[in-house]
Structure 1
Amino acid sequence: MKIKSLHHIAIIASDYERSKEFYTQVLGFEIMQEIYRAERDSYKLDLAINGQYLIELFSFPNPPARPSRPEATGLRHIAFAVDDIQEAVAYLATKHIVAEPIRIDEFTGKKFTFFSDPDDLPVEIYEG
């Protein structure tokens, strides 16, 4: 098998409208398409950055909670590249989102930090 790229990341939100606002209004994702699937009582929202499809955001009735973090089995975090991490952290603060202290990747020398989405999913921003 030859994988050529990442197609998308799927996220199930406990509060669809709150997560929709977070990913679009706070993180700046563009809505490509939003579909309501009546048979599943579920929304599916396709989100993009710079025209690149990256996230499917779902709503489902009463989804179970994920095991505690940070080191539970499964998806550990999602990460997004930024040009200026200080600027990104300052912007998040204006939205009342607290990022962890900025760290330096010991292998690349690049700056990074983490914050959480509305469902406490760890989100990393990485400078470079």
Structure 2
Amino acid sequence: MRSIHHIAIICSDYERSRHFYSEILGFPVIREIFREARSSWKCDLDAGNAAIELFSFPDPPPRPSYPEACGLRHLAFAVPDIAAEVARLEGLGVSTEPVRIDEYTGQKFTFFADPDGLPLELYEDAATAS
């Protein structure tokens, strides 16, 4: 195994989540397909070295997040300047937790949630600066 190819996310409101991931978080849409047999949308988003697959299904069951359940804990995005990204997100109405420092790496990080409450993280990584 060499890398992460994609991350699949099932959402409860496709249009709301598509807007969040493409317009607010800024991941460009690669392709978007309506799968009639499943009554489901699939949207592939360019997340750099991996893709995010955003799916809609009729009436998906809720996934427990809090208290933390066994399984995938969160999805983290590398950003070059966490303060700027937090300010940008909060300016768009996305609440973030206070920025903390990773006690082992010394890097700054914070958490926020997608429209379905999926925990997401911003992790400051100067190497992501262009």
How far off its partner does 1:49 sit?
3.0
Aligned identity (percent) is 60
Question: Are 2:106 and 1:109 aligned?
Answer: yes
Task: Tell me which stretches of 4 or more aligned residues in structure 1 moved more than 4 Å.
Answer: none
* TM-score (ref. length: structure 1): 0.94
Question: Are 2:108 and 1:90 aligned?
Answer: no
Q: Contact conserved, 1:70 with 1:76, CA < 8 A, in 2?
A: no
Q: Distance in 2 between matches of 1:85 and 1:11?
A: 24
* TM-score (ref. length: structure 2): 0.93
- Matched ranges for 1:27-42 at <5 A: 27-42=25-40
Question: Are 2:16 and 1:18 aligned?
Answer: yes
Any idea what the Cα deviations from partners look like across 1:22-43, whole Å, max 9, x if unmatched?
0000000010011111100001
Aligned-residue Cα RMSD (Å) equals 1.0
Unmatched 5+ residue regions in structure 2? 126-130
Q: In the alignment, which residue of structure 2 is the partner of 1:74?
A: 71
Unmatched 5+ residue regions in structure 1? none
Q: Give the number of aligned pairs.
A: 125
